[in-house]
Chains A and B, each alone.
Chain A
Amino acid sequence: MRLLLTMIVAMVASVVARAQAVDIRSITPVVNLTVPVSAFNLATGAASVTSPSAISTRLRSNRNWNFTVRSGSTTFAHTPVPGAPTTSKPVSQLLIRENGAGSFLPISTSNVVIASGPNGNNIDRDFDLRFDTTLDDSPGQYAVTLVFTLVTL
């Protein structure tokens, strides 16, 4: 009888445990940044715009996990304003870091680990984005796709 009860408990616990997922419950689908003219250093012609917590995620994991990011292309897709030339701008001038943690990492087509951690429910991780530009970059829209990958370890 005790064995039967134990097996029932085992089955219930297994179902409950299985229901625990490793997941990203939410992730910001698109981020828009604007570089205002006032952001440029007139001496160097450079500007750097940072968007804290630009990308928010909520993870759940029943194992240790690893979160990486890479770009889908080596350069931004540039749509210049009418009359302006097209700029081939490397995606490495877009940088990412976990919110407030350490230095920014340049985006590339190689996967870069931006977060990892132990199992848990409702693990909130936000990521800051930084965009570096200069007056040599034509005005217009610089678009890129970032691929975030979650795996268990």
Chain B
Amino acid sequence: MSFESGEHSATWGKSVIGWPVISFSRTAGTGLFPALFKLWTLCRGSHRRAGLRPADAGRRFDRLTVCKRPALLNFSILLLFLAAPVLEAFVGVDRGELLFKLVPGHGAASTVTVTNSGTELSTVSLSIEDFKIADGRPNFSAQEHSRALASRLTVFPTSFELKAGESREVQVLLDPGDGPFEAGTYWAVVFVQTSRLADMVPPGGDRQVQVRVVERVGVFAFADAEPEPRPLPADVEITGLENAGKNLVVSVKNPSRYLRLVTEGYVLATPLDGGAAQRWPMQTFRVLPDSVVRMEIPVPEAAAGMGRCNVLVALDYGADELVAGEQEFEF
């Protein structure tokens, strides 16, 4: 099934699990609004201007229209995603991931700012490890694989002390060597670890257990060999949507050999009895190569009592089309 509405069009197919998947294209159309839309997307280097509004609140959408939102509001939404994710323990870091290009013979550098957000002196040590991907998540215990990046990365310095409130910039250097590299994303993780001195209890006559706790945060390093042109191909799929009570769980499949960053997404819950629809924003998240990730989306308290709803999830990862899926749930 397909439709066109001005500069936007949609196609509706079935996912592998048999529930509807809708993809939205925003390329066609003429006139002032399409021109503004195109200008806007060019300015921000992405394609996420559309707000989706069900024109027919039936059991299934058989027609969808796309409405624009005021520019200021859209800009505000954009701002939420400008800030890099920040990780921090007692010693924290200012970003959750580093992105490189993996070009033979061309080194690259990036920085991470480490901050002691605690109230005590902390000794910080940094290390780099490879990891595998299991069930869409990093598995730090399994390390060897064909797209391992750790051996090509170094950090400087690798150890230092930070007083409470102090920050220090750490260099992360990529030396790709001569290659060659297979097209796709290579990855590793930089661990920033801290430990504090703790009073040890001397052994007594009983059986005693002493558990010393070390905390660390991980900064992912991703490097693309033969980076893809933009917009990205339409290969990401929503393969499932579940209502788990406090959360909606959306399963997102990335069949490609490249990392996919979902930079924006939302849930549109539309009561089937004709009540007011609610739009819930989603956090930025990553879908690792060749994997399926299950993302939890908190159901806001305001959703209580909405009754039977048609729930539409739309995600933007930089392709020319949004990827979307829908399902009916009771709230």
Please list the residues of chain A having a beta carbon within 8 angstroms of any beta carbon in chain B.
2, 6, 9-10, 13-14, 17-18, 20-25, 27-37, 47, 49, 54-55, 60, 62-64, 66, 68, 70, 72, 76, 79-81, 94, 109-111, 113, 116-119, 129, 131, 133, 137, 139-153
Contact = CB atoms under 8 A, between A and B. Distances in A.
A13 B78 CA distance: 10
A146 B90 CA distance: 16
B220 interface: yes
Given A35-B207, A36-B206, A17 B138 contact: no
A14 B82 contact: yes
Contacts of A150: 87, 89, 215-218
Tell me which of B82, B198, B210, B216 has the highest count of chain A C-beta atoms within 10 A of its own C-beta: B210
B201 interface: yes
B151 to A, nearest CB: 21
Interface stretch (B7-15, B179-187, B289-297, B309-317): B289-297
A99 B285 CA distance: 27
B117 A151 contact: no
Contact of B285 (A27, A63, A148): A63
Interface in B207-246: 207-218, 220
A38 to B, nearest CB: 11
Nearest to A37: B206
A20 B86 contact: yes
A149 B92 CA distance: 12
A63 B84 CA distance: 10
B284 interface: yes
B215 A10 contact: no
A34 B208 contact: yes
B137 interface: yes
Contacts of B141: 70, 109-111
Contacts of B207: 34-35, 47, 133, 137, 139-140, 142
B117 A149 contact: no
Interface in B265-304: 283-286, 293, 295-298
Given A32-B208, A152-B87, 8 more contacts: A35-B208, A49-B209, A81-B205, A111-B140, A139-B206, A141-B202, A144-B210, A150-B218
A68 B210 contact: no
A65 B293 CA distance: 13
A142 B83 CA distance: 44
B203 interface: yes
Contacts of B284: 63
Tell me which of A24, A32, A35, A153 has the highest count of chain B C-beta atoms within 10 A of its own C-beta: A153
B253 to A, nearest CB: 15
Given A21-B92, A23-B117, A146 B87 contact: no
A77 to B, nearest CB: 9
A79 B203 contact: yes
Nearest to A33: B209
Contacts of A25: 117-118
B255 interface: no
B191 A149 contact: yes
List 3 tightest A-B contacts by C-beta distance, closest first.
A23-B88, A17-B83, A110-B141
Contacts of A14: 79, 82-83
Contacts of A144: 209-212
A49 to B, nearest CB: 8
Nearest to A138: B207
Contacts of A2: 72
B196 interface: yes
A139 B206 CA distance: 5
A152 B206 contact: no
Contacts of A35: 206-209
Contacts of B293: 153
B120 to A, nearest CB: 9
Nearest to B142: A110
Interface string B74-114: 01101110111111111010101100000000000000000
Nearest to A13: B79
B5 interface: no
B193 to A, nearest CB: 8
Given A118-B247, A146-B214, A152-B96, A10 B208 contact: no
Given A64-B295, A70-B141, A144-B212, A22 B203 contact: no
A54 B199 CA distance: 16
